[in-house]
Chains A and B, each alone.
Chain A
Amino acid sequence: MNDMTPDREERKSSLKGMGSSRKRVEDARFTQGKGNYVDDIKLDGMLSGDFVRSPYAHARVVDINTEAALKVPGVLAVLTAKDLEPLGLHWMPTLAGDKQMVLADGKVLFQGQEVAFVIAKDRFAAADGIEAVEVEYEELPVLTDPFEALKSDVVLREDLDPKADGAHGPRKHHNHIFTWEAGEKDATEQVLAEADVVAEEMIYYHRTHPCPLETCGCVASMDKVNGKLTLWGTFQAPHAIRTVVSLISGIEEHNIRVISPDIGGGFGNKVGAYAGYVCSVVASIVTGQPVKWIEDRMDNLMTTAFARDYWMQGKISATKDGKITGLWCHTTADHGGFDACADPTKFPAGFMNICTGSYDIPTAYLAVDGVYTNKAPGGVAYRCSFRVTEAAYFIERMVEVLAIELNMDAAELRRINFIKKDQFPYNSALGWEYDSGDYHTAWDKALEAVNYDDLRKEQSARVAAFQRGETRKLLGIGLTHFTEIVGAGPVKNCDILGLGMFDSCEIRIHPTGSAIARLGTISQGQGHATTFAQILATEIGLPADSITIEEGDTDTAPYGLGTYGSRSTPVAGAATAMAGRKIRAKAQMIAAYLLEVHDDDVEFDVDRFVVKGAPERFKTMKDIAFASYNQAIPGLEPGLEAVSYYDPPNMTYPFGAYICVMELDVDTGEHEIRQFYALDDCGTRINPMIIEGQVHGGLTEALAIAMGQEIAYDEMGNVKTGTLMDFFLPTAWETPHYTTDHTTTPSPHHPIGAKGVGESPNVGGVPAFSNAVHDAFRAFGLRQAHMPHDHWRVWKIANDLGLHG
């Protein structure tokens, strides 16, 4: 039965199951302009809603005069906090256990904050209405520095009792949010005190933004006749949104239908609930008509879920031979005016405690202090896997700094500290059990692929040439070996607002042998309709082309926690495999019945069940599907259907080795990426073409972040980079060619051994690009320079090092 006869190979490949670079079923509609995004939705009588926003970062709202606005032709109503208060909707709960204003309630806390919601017959009238609303503000002192905020007398959150505990425990100061700790403080400090070598550095991961090409938006439609609310929106977690809307509106969940249609990129920007969703729902209930809200790009950049803004003070200790003995990290986390981080409830700093990375560090300690400032709320977004981007950047920079301290090659320093293959499952000093890994193989493969030794020789020659005045360009080799943690997560410790982070798949096979499967996740470009069909094709032996995958309609899809944090493959992919196995288990019984043998006398072979020892006697899955509708089988219900809700036993731990070779112009600060090699190990690879696409896209986000993209504020809290003029999004011209590669180390606890890959390239990419910049200047004494490495900052590195002669 284990012969791979040509016939069998053909049967397997025609299924286009796991491992196939199956072309995407989504592409037909997207390439013909037939996508269905939120702004494409048109309903009879649909109104338009949009916000009056605060120009100030911190101010009292003294008065809102809507008289002139209400006289603008086409304007129907203007909502303020006063209108939402009787409904209890002027504030809403955040995903991080805080609460946030829906509309300004007495004051505003960040530039762009929503002050009033204008409802009009179309967006033209809404825009005119917004201009006509008169708001009187009284400016207050602005806090944009989290360290200053923790010392300042200025109270940002006057709604919180400074003496009471916050959602995550005691608060040290009126602008303090939480302290979260992991590992062992005393033991780590002891190790550091006794170490041969300690390197200390402040590593800052600056504030940036996921900026998906489609901004956030929704259409809310309250059907007053039937008492049913339908809400279309840019929701990465449609079921969670339904539950939240139910809790805050009082409408029962069975009367709420949430639909995520096609979404133009999410990247974590579209996980939480925004004021626009709440106001649209209220407006629809109040007017009895559908209301559409679509934000502008400036609204998106200035007010929706930003990413990062972590000040990470690190200390790393090692023996003089380079064996790391301890890691200490204290992080000051700038959360903006409200703590709206999209984290699992018990993790206010996400999974920052993955910051021991790929290294076998016996003793470690992490403390994170969250702080309020006059900036937009958020922090967990942008392919971060819940702060894993920050953690990976931190450790990959600390290893580089340690290499400088030890005067060692950074590639070698990593190698001697990697967790070894036989140490898995590995329990890290900060509390995670890594499932599997083979870091040495990946590392050696990467270094060989780029001819690492030759690159170092070339670099030395370049330094010498520079010092002789023969060139003004330096060469940097940026190394990264990251381990990340995805697939949130086990219900016992992972929940979003109390909803356990399981996920689901429900399959129904049709009589003529095709199928529909619905999931609790929602693609925003990851190609689920293509890849989850592949999982099923392999599990149940029906062609992927015969399987429709549906997501995003809460009336029909089984409950799930949505798509972000690379959780779809680890959790919903597992549910899909498990549901597929339930189908197969029933199919086995049907096959046995049809073949008149015992259940155990048949076995599954690609697309059929065959009698053991008599392969000419078989029933295909198609035969079995029809039989399930056609035959009265004793002990079996008719039909062929299964559902699985999967509670993962653990997270998964993809890893990778990235190497970036970069040229830097010392005089202009310009960079050129000569080469980028990315090796990813995401366990079992479902669709290599799609994996490669994810890596290309994530690396390009990383390029942007490392080399110029930022959400920058001035001291008055004005956003300096609120449009695409200044918020750096690379074009095809700035983006280099990437070489992708892989190893495959399956996850031992996942039904198909898959780990997920979507976020890895951002997690590993940023340190690779940033380390390249640092590495170029290492020979001249550079230890740490904060990102982004845009032209003027690279120029400043060179200037501060005296390279401008």
Chain B
Amino acid sequence: MIPAPFSYHRPSALTDAIAILSEHGDDARVMAGGHSLIPMMKLRMADIPHLIDLQDIPNLSDISVEGSRVRMGAMVTQAQVITDQGLAHAAPLLKEAALQIADPQVRYMGTVGGNVANGDPANDMPGLMQCLDASFTLVGPNGTRAVNARAFYEAAYMTAREDEEVLTEISFDAHAAGYAYEKQKRKIGDYATAASAVLLSKDGGRCSSASIAMTNLSDTPIFSEAASTALIGTQLDDAAIKQAVSAALGDIDPTEDNRGPVAFKMHVAGVILTRAIQRAWSRA
């Protein structure tokens, strides 16, 4: 319950945060809402000699929708995602997913940036961002760069972010009309037993675009190109959906844990994806 001692920094400029990261290397970590990091520190499973609180850094909590481009600062909380009107119009998929994350208190503090940056395969936002084909802005001592969500996750807790970089913004285009985030969990507040983010568009009764990502079924989120492709051009009849599901199941690699054995997770993943596809299609 009591973490190891550490030094706490609360810089008011991004450059200062980056400077501290550069000075201390992997002895330093930035903290957004703290609701992933602090529990780990309390169990002494994470030892962070220098903790950098980002809450005073300006312009990290804004949500903007310009034209069809949505931009969210890394410090935007899940609670903000749920109540933001602009987001509700441009990207309702986010609200649907955010309502299925954790509980009300955690959503007041937990941030989108925190959820996507630490590489925890159980988090909901990474797969969602891959489905949205989002771009992450990383700022470091050597400047700013963008990395696509689909290229960001390497392994559990290992991402494309360098130790001295800070993920400051997430951006993506307003998404297709057909959307669904479907998540099976043991209880409210739990991570996914299996979850699926689906975006679909319909043109003349046929699927003209599809994006499918699976969560907590591998050591990273899985964007399934093959599953997405399997739907395009079809009328989403049973055969097409089965093919998409089969492709997605081929891309995931779940492990056994308290939620259940592999065979169970594979089966449930298929069911969840099917329901997500059907629901997204009904909205397309």
- The answer to whether A and B touch in the complex, with CB atoms under 8 Å apart, is yes
Residues of A within 8 A of B (CB): 123-124, 127-128, 131, 296, 667-670, 708, 712, 720-721, 725-726, 728, 730-731, 733-734, 790-792, 795-796, 799, 804
- Which residues from B are CB-within-8-Å of A720? 258
Is the Cβ of A792 less than 8 Å from the Cβ of B187? no
Chain B residues numbered 186-203 whose CB sits less than 8 Å from any CB in chain A: 186-190, 193
Alpha-carbon separation in the docked complex, A668 to B182 (Å): 13
- Which residues from A are CB-within-8-Å of B103? 731
Residues of B within 8 A of A (CB): 1-2, 4-5, 44, 103, 184, 186-190, 193, 258-261, 263-264, 267-268, 271-272
Interface core residue of A708, A725, A734 (most chain B CB under 10 Å):
A725
Is the Cβ of B186 less than 8 Å from the Cβ of A669? no
Is the Cβ of A790 less than 8 Å from the Cβ of B4? no
- Which residues from A are CB-within-8-Å of B5? 128
- 7 residue pairs bridging A and B, Cβ less than 8 Å apart: A123-B1, A127-B1, A708-B187, A733-B188, A790-B186, A791-B260, A799-B263
Is the Cβ of B2 less than 8 Å from the Cβ of A123? yes
Is the Cβ of B267 less than 8 Å from the Cβ of A712? no
Is the Cβ of B193 less than 8 Å from the Cβ of A791? yes
Is the Cβ of A795 less than 8 Å from the Cβ of B186? no
Is the Cβ of B44 less than 8 Å from the Cβ of A728? no
Is the Cβ of A804 less than 8 Å from the Cβ of B184? no
Measured between C-beta atoms, what is the minimum distance from A303 to chain B in Å?
A: 15
Is the Cβ of A734 less than 8 Å from the Cβ of B188? yes
Alpha-carbon separation in the docked complex, A794 to B184 (Å): 14
- Which residues from A are CB-within-8-Å of B44? 131
Identify whether the interface residues of B are mostly helix, strand, loop, or mixed. loop
Is the Cβ of B264 less than 8 Å from the Cβ of A796? yes
Alpha-carbon separation in the docked complex, A721 to B187 (Å): 15
Is the Cβ of A668 less than 8 Å from the Cβ of B4? no
Set A124, A708, A796: member contacting B186, Cβ < 8 A? A708
Set A123, A669, A728, A804: member contacting B187, Cβ < 8 A? A728
- Which residues from B are CB-within-8-Å of A733? 187-188
- Which residues from A are CB-within-8-Å of B184? 668, 670, 791
Set B2, B187, B267: member contacting A731, Cβ < 8 A? B187
B193, closest chain A residue (CB)? A791
Alpha-carbon separation in the docked complex, A804 to B190 (Å): 26
Is the Cβ of B4 less than 8 Å from the Cβ of A730? no
Given the known interface contacts A668-B271, A795-B264, A804-B267, the answer about A721 and B258 at a Cβ–Cβ threshold of 8 Å is: yes
- Which residues from B are CB-within-8-Å of A799? 263, 267
Measured between C-beta atoms, what is the minimum distance from B265 to chain A in Å?
A: 8
Alpha-carbon separation in the docked complex, A604 to B180 (Å): 71
Set B189, B268, B272: member contacting A795, Cβ < 8 A? B268
Measured between C-beta atoms, what is the minimum distance from A104 to chain B in Å?
A: 21
Is the Cβ of B187 less than 8 Å from the Cβ of A296? no
Is the Cβ of A296 less than 8 Å from the Cβ of B258? no
A666, closest chain B residue (CB)? B271
A712, closest chain B residue (CB)? B258
Given the known interface contacts A127-B1, A296-B1, A733-B187, the answer about A726 and B258 at a Cβ–Cβ threshold of 8 Å is: yes
- Which residues from B are CB-within-8-Å of A804? 267
Measured between C-beta atoms, what is the minimum distance from A668 to chain B in Å?
A: 6
- Which residues from B are CB-within-8-Å of A734? 187-188
- Which residues from B are CB-within-8-Å of A296? 1
Is the Cβ of B1 less than 8 Å from the Cβ of A792? no
A723, closest chain B residue (CB)? B43
Is the Cβ of A795 less than 8 Å from the Cβ of B260? yes
- Which residues from A are CB-within-8-Å of B259? 791-792
Is the Cβ of B267 less than 8 Å from the Cβ of A667? yes
Alpha-carbon separation in the docked complex, A804 to B267 (Å): 9
Q: A668-B184, A791-B259 are in contact. List 15 more A-B contacts (CB 8 A).
A: A123-B2, A127-B1, A128-B5, A131-B44, A667-B271, A726-B258, A728-B187, A731-B187, A731-B188, A734-B187, A791-B184, A791-B193, A791-B260, A795-B268, A796-B264
Alpha-carbon separation in the docked complex, A792 to B269 (Å): 12
Measured between C-beta atoms, what is the minimum distance from A666 to chain B in Å?
A: 10
- Which residues from A are CB-within-8-Å of B2? 123-124, 127-128
Alpha-carbon separation in the docked complex, A728 to B103 (Å): 15
Alpha-carbon separation in the docked complex, A730 to B190 (Å): 11
Alpha-carbon separation in the docked complex, A726 to B103 (Å): 16
Interface core residue of A131, A667, A731 (most chain B CB under 10 Å):
A667
- Which residues from B are CB-within-8-Å of A123? 1-2
Measured between C-beta atoms, what is the minimum distance from B4 to chain A in Å?
A: 7
- Which residues from B are CB-within-8-Å of A668? 184, 268, 271-272
Measured between C-beta atoms, what is the minimum distance from A334 to chain B in Å?
A: 20
Measured between C-beta atoms, what is the minimum distance from A473 to chain B in Å?
A: 13
Is the Cβ of A792 less than 8 Å from the Cβ of B188? no
- Which residues from B are CB-within-8-Å of A796? 264
Is the Cβ of B4 less than 8 Å from the Cβ of A731? no
Set B189, B258, B263, B264: member contacting A669, Cβ < 8 A? B264
- Give me the 5 closest cross-chain CB pairs, A-B, nearest first: A792-B260, A127-B2, A792-B264, A733-B188, A726-B258
Set B4, B189, B267, B272: member contacting A131, Cβ < 8 A? B4
Alpha-carbon separation in the docked complex, A790 to B44 (Å): 30
Is the Cβ of A792 less than 8 Å from the Cβ of B4? no
Alpha-carbon separation in the docked complex, A725 to B193 (Å): 13
Measured between C-beta atoms, what is the minimum distance from A300 to chain B in Å?
A: 12
Measured between C-beta atoms, what is the minimum distance from B232 to chain A in Å?
A: 26
Measured between C-beta atoms, what is the minimum distance from A712 to chain B in Å?
A: 7
Set B4, B260, B264, B267: member contacting A128, Cβ < 8 A? B4
- Which residues from B are CB-within-8-Å of A728? 186-187
A296, closest chain B residue (CB)? B1
Alpha-carbon separation in the docked complex, A669 to B5 (Å): 44
- Which residues from A are CB-within-8-Å of B188? 731, 733-734
Set A124, A670, A726, A795: member contacting B267, Cβ < 8 A? A795
B194, closest chain A residue (CB)? A668
Is the Cβ of B260 less than 8 Å from the Cβ of A730? no
- Which residues from B are CB-within-8-Å of A725? 190
A721, closest chain B residue (CB)? B258
Measured between C-beta atoms, what is the minimum distance from B46 to chain A in Å?
A: 14
A795, closest chain B residue (CB)? B264
Alpha-carbon separation in the docked complex, A493 to B186 (Å): 44
- Which residues from A are CB-within-8-Å of B186? 708, 728, 790-791
Measured between C-beta atoms, what is the minimum distance from A189 to chain B in Å?
A: 40
- Which residues from A are CB-within-8-Å of B267? 667, 795, 799, 804
Measured between C-beta atoms, what is the minimum distance from A452 to chain B in Å?
A: 30
- Which residues from A are CB-within-8-Å of B193? 791
Measured between C-beta atoms, what is the minimum distance from A456 to chain B in Å?
A: 29
Alpha-carbon separation in the docked complex, A720 to B1 (Å): 19
- Which residues from A are CB-within-8-Å of B272? 668
Alpha-carbon separation in the docked complex, A450 to B252 (Å): 45
Alpha-carbon separation in the docked complex, A720 to B268 (Å): 22
Alpha-carbon separation in the docked complex, A669 to B267 (Å): 11
Is the Cβ of B260 less than 8 Å from the Cβ of A731? no
